[in-house]
Each structure stands twice: as structure tokens, then as C-alpha cells.
Amino acid sequence: MELANMPPTGHFIGGKWVESASGQQFETMNPATEEVLAKVARGGMAEVEQAVAAARQALSGPWGMMPPKEHGRFLHTISQHITAHAGELARLETLDNGKPLSLAEEEVRGAARYFEYYAGAADKIHGEQIPLGPNRLNFTVREPMGVTAHIVPWNKPLNILARSLAPALATGNTAVIKPSELTPLTALKLAEIFAEAGCAPGVINVVNGFGEEAGAALAGHTAIDHLTFTGSVQTGRTVMKAAAEHIKPVVLELGGKSPLLVFADADLDLAVAEAVNGISTNCGQMCSAGSRLLVESSIKEAFVAKLAARLAALRIGPGVDDPDMGPLVSAVQVSRVTGHIEIAQSEGARMVLGGKRPSHLSRGYFLLPTLFDGVLPDMHIAQEEVFGPVLSLTTFADEAEALRIANDVKYGLIAAVFTQNIDRALRLALRLQAGQVFVNEYYTGDEEMPFGGTKQSGFGRLKGLAALDEYTQVKNVAVRMKGEG
């Protein structure tokens, strides 16, 4: 696939494309071919300083003066422009990240939908009047936070960016974005789309670069007012500490080790299909990956047989050929995932299939879907996020045991229950420690549904109307009136 419609590869600051002060660049690669796709400007403190200043200035410019309905109209325009460029965006994402083209297309549709959804919300965000008696008028005002920072990972680069950017802009904030150095291209294309749509300078700014340089400079910057971080627990902790130095609010969307609980009365074909989907989508590189299967002992053999057959049938190849699974994002990610596989084997888990690269592909960061059976709840593979196509299967005897195993991890992002028993489904939905619980489906992930973690999966909610609370602060105004006569 040729690289038509490549966006500019500088930083987008104050409405202009600029190169790094240092003149340095870094390469972004195609993980399916290991070829260099583009050289991108490598920013650091100097570029973050400029971007934060531009975003601050934009707050007092035309954007800051705009009525909410105009913010909404602008977001709607962005949604339409994303849709108009959907083909280019999806191709860029597939080339940069490796994901199958149809998945990239779905994520681009999701990005457009975020802007559409929050466009409709922009003029419906308001405070309330709180009665305090005849001579008092008390009301609240919901104000933007100001300059919002968005540190974005590589697994769903455009979609995750849109997830926080759209509500931040709908509430009148401005933004500085730091894409992952592994996948910067769609954030740059989005900046180009904003410029094309007539965005005022400084409303969004993109600084490319490495996490330890540009990311750390942004997280620790005294003049940002809010930080959204999506990525690993380890980096989330670092970012939160940096923000704590200046008492900045953060939304942390971190990892997961999400369980699918499959009871003997479940529709097994449905549960198998959703389990395959939950671990193969994006090659398992999803915070929401369904990486733990908890299966009632009596159906284990039948379940494993069906599951293994479905996993073995998955088509693997370059994302541009639209297989079921593309490559992992990088050589580093392959070695992280295979490291987890080796630990699982050394601890005695039984590998049913996978564990190695597919023999028909000689280049690219490919790995076969991998299934472990006989996994005990305290094993490494049952506790740690792998972020690859590796599924671990543990059996349980009854509902109480299923719940105990499901909750006994440090994460709490998503959980799913497969059963025909409505009482059990609802009981578990209330008791599972997770930000989202699904019953007889896995991760439909619509934009209207509040999403976020409990425990070390993070805090704060994105998606849905809940996200609007993250990007506004409440001011209370109390007025004492002189009574007449």
C-alpha cells in the first residue's frame, strides 16, 4: 500500500506546523513489514512549552469567547471531516499500528462518533440553582478546566485520542496532545483535519516525541490544568506523581485483566465467539482485552475444544489484507508477550495452542493466538496484564468461587458473565469489581457507555455524559439580597 495522504510530520502548535528546536526526528515503523513509514519531529520541553502557551492563549481568543452551541457546531464539523477522511485515517492507522483494516475503519467511525456525540452535548452542560431561602440566590456554574493534556497510547491511537479530546473540547477547554512515538500518524492527520475545518490557532496542539521526553515534560508542566493519561499502570503512576507536584487533576485509564465467567447453562457457542473476539481484537493489545476465562468445571472440556478450534482458525497477516489478527505493534511488545508466555510455562500452565510466530510469515511482529489451560488463580499469567493474544483458562466449581477468582486481581476494568440465569447474572453484575460489566456479550463498547477502571485500572470516567464531569469544574455563586421593606 502506498503512503498517499501522509500528514505533515512536524509538531502542530498554535495552528502551524513546526519542526523541533533540536532538529531531531524519530522513525515510525510498519509492524507488518518492519519498514520505516515516516520520520517525525522529536519534541521535548521546548515544544511542550510552546504548545501549552498556545493552548492557554486560545482560551482567551475566539474559542474561549464562543457560546457552547458554537463549540457543538464545530465538533459536529470535525465529525463530518473525520468521516470524509475515514479511508485515509484507517489506512494510516493500519500501516502505523498493524491492526486489520476493518478494525481501523471501525475505530475511525468511533472517533467520528465521539465528536458527533459530544457535539450534541456541548450546549446542554449547565449548573443548578440551589434554594437557600427567600433572601438568598445560590447557583452553580460549570467552567472549563482550561488547558487539558492528553497522553495517548499506541493501541487505538486515533480512537483513544478522540475519546478524551471530544469531551474536553465540548466543555470549552483547549488541548495539548502527546501521541505515542510508535503511532503518531493519525494524531497528525487529525490536526490537519482541524486546520482544514478552520479551527482557531492553539485550540489543539500536537507534540510528538518519546514518553520520557515530551510526555514527561507535558505531565509535569505547571501550566496545564488537567491531564488524561491512557497506558500502563507503571507509566500512569509516574504521570500521576508528576501531576501531583502541581496538584493537577488526572484521569487515568490503565490496564486490565478482565474475566469472562462462563457458567454451565450458558450458550456455549456465543461464549466461545465472544471469548475469541475479546482476546483476538487488536491482537489482544486492548486494556479491555478479555484475557481471563473462568469456566465452570463441568463444561471445561467441551469449551476448550470449541475455543481451541476457533482460535486455530483465525487468519493472521498484514493489516492491509484485513485478516482476523495483524502483528503486535513492535519487537519490544513481542518480547514482552513472549516473556509472559515463558513464565506461564515455567509455572506449569498447559499451553493448548500458539506461543510462537506463524510459520507462513517471515517478517513482521506476528504471534499466534495462545491459549493456556490449567491456570491457577495466583499464577503470573492469571494476574498480570499481557497485552497480547494470550488467553488463560481457569475452572471454578460454583458461583462463589467464580466471583472470588474474578475479583482477586489488582485490576478492575471490565467483566462479563455468560449464563441463562437472570438472578445470577444480576447478582454478579453488582458484585464484580469492574467499571463495566457485560452479560451474554463482551465489550460492545458504545460511545454512550461510561468507561473507566476501579482498583489499579485507574479512575475517572470517559465516554458517555460522565466524561463531561471530568473536564468541567463546578463554581458555586451565593448572593445575599437585601429584602425590600
| Residues found near ligand NDP in the complex (CB under 6 A) | 151-155, 178, 180-182, 210-212, 215-216, 219, 230-232, 235, 238-239, 254-255, 287, 336, 385, 387
Min separation Cβ 184 and ligand NDP, Å: 8
Separation CA 280–CA 428 (nearest Å): 25
Min separation Cβ 288 and ligand NDP, Å: 8
Min separation Cβ 147 and ligand NDP, Å: 16
Min separation Cβ 191 and ligand NDP, Å: 16
Min separation Cβ 154 and ligand NDP, Å: 6
Task: Specify whether the CB–CB gap between 165 and 157 falls below 8 A.
Answer: no
Nearer to ligand NDP, 285 or 472 (CB): 285
Q: Which three cell numbers stand for residue 441?
A: 456479550
Separation CA 243–CA 467 (nearest Å): 20
Min separation Cβ 230 and ligand NDP, Å: 5
Query: Using the 8-state DSSP alphabet, how is residue 209 labeled?
Result: -
**Of 12, 22, 287, whose CA–CA distance to 163 is shortest?**
287
Separation CA 84–CA 294 (nearest Å): 43
Separation CA 418–CA 441 (nearest Å): 8
Q: What angle do CA 242, 248, 251 make, to 5 degrees?
A: 90
Nearer to ligand NDP, 107 or 385 (CB): 385
Nearer to ligand NDP, 318 or 388 (CB): 388
Q: Does the annotation mark 47 as catalytic?
A: no
Q: Does the annotation mark 253 as catalytic?
A: yes
Which residues make beta-bridge pairs with 205?
176
Nearer to ligand NDP, 144 or 389 (CB): 389
The catalytic residue among 192, 274, 287, 447 is 287
Instruction: Mark 294-314 as b/e (b = at least 16 C-beta within 10 Å).
Output: bbbeebbeebbebbbebbeeb
Nearer to ligand NDP, 255 or 259 (CB): 255
Nearer to ligand NDP, 40 or 166 (CB): 40
**Of 443, 177, 144, 133, whose CA–CA distance to 288 is shortest?**
443
Min separation Cβ 186 and ligand NDP, Å: 13
The catalytic residue among 93, 253, 296, 470 is 253
Separation CA 412–CA 383 (nearest Å): 12
Min separation Cβ 337 and ligand NDP, Å: 8
**Of 204, 188, 241, 252, whose CA–CA distance to 219 is shortest?**
241
DSSP class per residue in 350-413: EEEE--S--TT--SSS----EEEES--TTSHHHHS---SSEEEEEEESSHHHHHHHHH-SSEES
Q: At what angle do helices 101-121 and 68-84 cross, to 10 degrees?
A: 160
Separation CA 410–CA 222 (nearest Å): 31
Nearer to ligand NDP, 174 or 238 (CB): 238
Nearer to ligand NDP, 44 or 319 (CB): 44
Separation CA 143–CA 436 (nearest Å): 28
Q: Which three cell numbers stand for residue 483?
A: 429584602
Nearer to ligand NDP, 246 or 336 (CB): 336
Report the residue number whose CB is nearest to ligand NDP.
211
Q: Which three cell numbers stand for residue 150?
A: 492528553
Min separation Cβ 243 and ligand NDP, Å: 10
What are the angstrom distances between the C-alpha of 79 and each of 212, 252, 386, 462? Answer: 32, 25, 33, 18
Could you list the active site residues?
253, 287
